[in-house]
Structure 1
Amino acid sequence: MSTHPERPDHDVLERIRADRVIATLRAPDADLALIAVEALVEAGATSIEVTYTVPDAGRVIAEAVHRYGDRALVGAGTLTTPEQVAGARDAGAAFFVSPGFDADVVAAIRAGDGPAIIGAYTATEVQQVVANGVELVKLFPASIGGPALLRALRGPFPDVAFVPTGGIRGDAVAEWIAAGAVAVGAGSELISSEALRGGDRGALVAHARAYLAAAAAPA
């Protein structure tokens, strides 16, 4: 599978590989989401996915890019319509994530800059996603199959770049990387739900730092 080195996407893909962890941010409102972004950047997270389940997600992305774009990649997630893709692109998103395959959504992402990270779980789904030029396959929900599922899928798809997401602990990241992942996605495991609801920036920073430290440890 080509990562299209002639496209600006290439630098983003290499950055995600180096970061190893994409922080997947869900929040009950835009203000709490921005507090979480600030905490994640302070903790050292440099690939941050703002999901479209966050109210006014486009504003959150635009503000996060304005504040932290020199220190972090800010992407958009849970994209399920081409209109959301367009809004995320206008807001300055650096990468685009969808939980599953939709041809119109993938086409909208591929029409502009920024790599697509599209959800798949079975061999059939992976094959369909890759056939549509997707750069990264979001293996979701990863915790159900575990690293053994990824190792099995890499048999027929040795060149596919997988990003397992869902239920991945910090101390398990190295095992996933060893199994062939280029990075992992982490949501509530990385972003404390309790601290987020309370807007406790200090607790968010501490929780994220602990996760990222565990994620950086060798297998």
Structure 2
Amino acid sequence: MRMTVWDRPEPPTRPVPLDRERIVAAAVALADEGGLEAVSLRKVAARLNAGPMRLYGYIATKEELFDLMVDEVQAEILPEERPGDWREALRLLAHGTRRTALRHEWLADLLGGRPSLGPNGLAVAEATLAAFDGLAGIDTAMRAVETVGAYCTGAIRREIANLRAERVTGLSKQDWQRARGPYMTSMLATGRFPALSKAVYDGADVDAESSFTTGLDWVLDAVAAKLTRAPA
């Protein structure tokens, strides 16, 4: 059976000291600066003043490196103290995930895939499921966790996509709206889009954090309603 990157032993130290902690820190720094496309074993080795082949003694593939990077930043998600109830626990974990993704935007590209099996990823999963201890059966708890996670992943990806678009175009949300105002005005004036017109002219404009919080509360309300009907 193939070992994971976490239980494969590291090679002995050489003149230029290396270990997985240094390699992952360098990879995270590269990704923070330029996204996942800025990360390769060759670029990480260059940042550490080491030969690329040396890294293969610690990490076999770039996918393993991404796994280690995700696990590294997941340590930032966990709250310092265990919350008193399931709702507060999921709220803290959701906001922790959002804040971590805003610090490390590349994380949004890796959210929602296979579960992280590193120690920090397992700790996040444990804290999430443990919030439902005594409240619901494991299947109900897992569906609740999946539902909240799907909302968070989608909302975070959308927010970061908007931030990236602002940087690429140089236009803020307000600048973009003003630039496309005449087109939208003419399209809405046709009367073909009454619901959209009401949203544009009458809808409240809220910031990303408020929108995330409101949507999260609605999802948690739905989970709470399900918990009152599901057998423990």
TM category (shorter chain) comes to: under 0.3
User: Where is the strand percentage greater, Structure 1 or Structure 2?
Assistant: 1
TM-score, structure 2 length as denominator?
A: 0.24
TM-score, structure 1 length as denominator?
A: 0.25
The higher radius of gyration belongs to 2
User: Where is the helix percentage greater, Structure 1 or Structure 2?
Assistant: 2
